[in-house]
Chain A
Amino acid sequence: MKKQLTILAIESSCDETAAAVLSGSRYMLHDTGHSFKILSNCVSSQVQVHAKYGGVVPEVAARLHIEKILPMIQLALKQAKKKIAEIDYIAVTAGPGLMSSLMIGTETAKTLALALNKQLIRINHIEGHLLSITEQLEFPAVGLVVSGGHTQIILVKDYLKYKLIGETRDDAAGEAFDKVAKILGLGYPGGPAISVAAAKVESVKSIPGIEIKLPRPMLDKVGFEMSFSGLKTSVLYKWNELVKILSPENLDKARNLMAYEFQKAVVEVLVAKTAAAALKFKAKTIVLGGGVSANKWLRSEMLRVISEKLPDVNVLMPEMKMAGDNAAMIAQAAYFHVLKKDFIEPTKLKPDPGWELVS
């Protein structure tokens, strides 16, 4: 058997069509020194198309996935300087996500695996986000996966051993960003729009006579559950009041202040819950993943709080291009499944929109 292995990974769970090629060394799962390298990481984003709908429209997403998936695979192979025959394994996201989007990726991967007679690996999208960093994890690790669709704290006891220990009771953090951005008239996607508005606050931190203060949901509760729906409702009510009483100029200031305070509230809860989980489970590593992990405020606050409270815990964060949905993270997760020889018969692979990551 060759010492090097090559994986082609495909991701299409939501509104990004992505393909990536990974080259890694063939070791046993627990041997030290296994290493891998991402040779290409190609993403075609539909976000501009969906912006006018204020969210992802499945019919549109599926159609665009069909258009883009083969060009993305070809591009990933070309950038990696690999021929399709040189690929050893095919990996694909099988859930969670949108059914009609997942199907495009899984059907493509199945077809390739059957036609090329390669082994197939199905990857959970959340697992991809957890393994979107290139550093080695030290166990136990606590992972925070935050995106438009997910807000979960996961205990990683070992490679491929996961336990969900906390999640949002209502809206995902990214979803709350989107909805609050809509309330404030800041556009889609909400995460970057809120961050940009919040960053304008530095100079003017208050408007005379107006206090903008939001609650910190679940912060004082024991456990790792989170909630962001009430925060959204608070923004809605406070904003509607401000619209009635403020001049247009002050309203612009208030909009930025609201974005600032909202972002601060969300980040405070995410960081506090992650820190509490790390403390309870004696984590050696905290790992972040998902679109919201690109948020600069979240990154800096996580580093600040953990270095203060848990100085021995190492915080790992994905590179910006690995935070959002991509196929390189799927390839990285697949690498560990290959080492464990965890494959699936192509004919048995089915997308699972609600696939919960447990092991």
Chain B
Amino acid sequence: MKVITKNEQQTIKLGEKFGQTLKGGEVVLLVGDLGAGKTTFVKGVAKALGVKRVVNSPTFVLMKIYVIKNKELRITNLIHIDTYRGLDIGDLKNIGAVEYFKRKDCVSFVEWGESLEDYLKKEKINFKKIVIKNISETKREFNFIE
């Protein structure tokens, strides 16, 4: 499924819609260039899950964990990971990220996540992939791949 967003606000809205469909246990790989809107999309997801804290770039700390206090949801943690710096699966194990992929009460979003595909397939961990293309300075194409 492909969706075009015309600006940042629409990207947040799209993330919000996607966030509303989450049930827990999802691992989502976000694929796209610098400035594609990966973090912006996760902002929308966080909004849908009721996260109050500012969701900003995890590039530096590699992983940010947002606690979700919505009792109507099974999801208790939103995990936001960034492998921009060339992290491999060893690094992700090292920071404890991989443990969250198997938890049904967590949803994980991995920016620059394409490098994890082989590992996830091998471990039989289900994942979704969202490929984001820059069409113009503000316009983006989101391609949702199950």
Known: A96-B61, A353-B61, A354-B65. A54 touches B86 (CB 8 A): yes
Whether A98 and B137, one on each chain, are in contact in the complex, defined by CB atoms closer than 8 angstroms, is no
Give the distance in Å from the alpha carbon of A203 to the alpha carbon of B62 in the complex: 40
B108 lies within 8 A of chain A by Cβ: no
The contact of A175 among B33, B57, B64, B94, by CB within 8 Å, is B57
Chain A proximity of B52: nearest CB distance (Å): 12
Q: Report yes or no: A172 in contact with B85, Cβ–Cβ below 8 A.
A: no
Say which residue of B35, B61, B95, B137 sits within 8 Å of A149 (CB atoms). Answer: B61
Tell whether, in the assembled complex, residue B94 and residue A170 are in contact, meaning their CB atoms are under 8 Å apart: no
The 0/1 profile, CB within 8 Å of B marked 1, for residues 174-194 of chain A is 110001001100000000000
Cβ–Cβ contact B56 & A236, under 8 A: no
Query: Which chain A positions have C-beta within 8 A of B43?
Result: 169
Interface of B is mostly: loop
A55 touches B40 (CB 8 A): no
Stretch among A57-65, A72-80, A336-344 lining the B interface: A57-65
B56 A57 Cβ-Cβ under 8 A: no
Distance of A96 Cα from B62 Cα, bound (Å): 12
Question: What is the total number of residues of chain B having a CB less than 8 Å from a CB of chain A?
Answer: 28
**Residues of chain A within 8 A of B57, CB atoms compared:** 168, 170-172, 175, 229
Query: With the chains together, A225 CA to B43 CA distance in Å?
Result: 15
Would you give 15 A-B contacts (Cβ < 8 Å), ordered by A?
Answer: A14-B60, A55-B84, A55-B86, A57-B85, A59-B91, A97-B61, A98-B95, A172-B60, A174-B60, A179-B34, A229-B35, A230-B35, A232-B34, A233-B34, A233-B35
Interface, chain B (partner A; CB < 8 A)? 8, 33-35, 39-40, 43, 53-54, 56-57, 59-65, 84-87, 90-91, 94-96, 137
Report if A99 contacts B (CB, 8 A): yes
A62 to B62 alpha-carbon distance, docked (Å): 14
Q: Is A62 in contact with B94, judged by CB distance below 8 angstroms?
A: yes
Nearest chain B residue, comparing its CB with the CB of A53: B86
User: B56: which A residues are within 8 A, CB to CB?
Assistant: 167-172
Contacts A172-B60, A353-B63, A354-B65 given: A54-B85 contact, CB under 8 Å?
A: yes
CB pair A100–B95 under 8 Å, yes or no, is yes
**Would B34 and A236 count as touching, CB distance under 8 A?**
yes
> How many A residues have CB within 8 A of the partner chain?
39
Is A99 within 8 A of B95, CB to CB?
A: yes
Q: For A98, list chain B residues within 8 Å (CB).
A: 61-62, 95
Query: In the complex, what residue of chain B is closest to A356 when comparing beta carbons?
Result: B53
Report the minimum CB–CB distance from A67 to chain B (whole Å): 16
8 extra interface residue pairs, beta carbon distance < 8 Å, beyond A149-B61, A354-B64: A58-B87, A100-B95, A167-B56, A171-B59, A179-B34, A229-B39, A233-B137, A236-B34
Which residues on B sit within 8 Å (CB–CB) of A233?
Answer: 34-35, 137
Partner of A170, one of B39, B61, B87: B39
Given A100, A232, A354, A356, which contacts B94 in the complex, CB threshold below 8 Å?
A100
Report A54 CB to chain B, min CB distance, Å.
7
Which of A54, A57, A62 has the most B CB atoms < 10 Å from its CB?
Answer: A57
Instruction: Decide if A195 is an interface residue (CB 8 Å cutoff).
Output: no
CA distance in complex: A233, B36 (Å) = 8
The CA-CA distance from A6 to B33 in the complex, in Å, is 50
The 5 A-B pairs at the shortest CB distance, nearest first, are namely A233-B35, A149-B60, A55-B85, A171-B57, A237-B137
Q: Are B137 and A234 in contact, CB atoms less than 8 angstroms apart?
A: yes
Q: Does A201 contact B (CB under 8 A)?
A: no
| Chain B positions within 8 Å of A234 at CB level | 137
Hey, which chain B residues are within 8 Å of A179, CB to CB? 34, 59
A289 at the interface (CB under 8 A from B): no
Which residues of chain B have C-beta atoms less than 8 A from A171's C-beta? 39, 56-57, 59
Report the minimum CB–CB distance from A266 to chain B (whole Å).
15
Q: Would A170 and B34 be within 8 Å (CB), given that A53-B85, A98-B61 are in contact?
A: no
Q: Does A5 contact B (CB under 8 A)?
A: no
Contact (A99, B54) CB under 8 Å given A55-B85, A58-B91: no
Cα A14 to Cα B62 with chains together (Å): 11
Report chain B residues within 8 Å CB of A172: 56-57, 60
Shortest CB distance B119–A (Å):
15
Nearest Cβ distance between residue B25 and chain A, in whole angstroms? Answer: 22
Asked if A324 is at the interface (CB within 8 A of a chain B CB), the reply is no
Which A residues are in CB contact (< 8 Å) with B91?
A: 57-59
The distance in angstroms between the C-alpha atoms of A319 and B39, with both chains bound, is 34
Contacts of A127-154 to chain B: CB distance below 8 A: 148-150
Interfacial chain A residues near B39, Cβ < 8 Å: 170-171, 229
Bound: A114/B68 CA distance, A: 36
Looking at the complex, which one of B34, B59, B95 makes contact with A58 (CB distance below 8 Å)?
B95
A265 interface residue, CB < 8 Å from B?
no
Tell me whether B95 and A170 are in contact (CB under 8 A): no
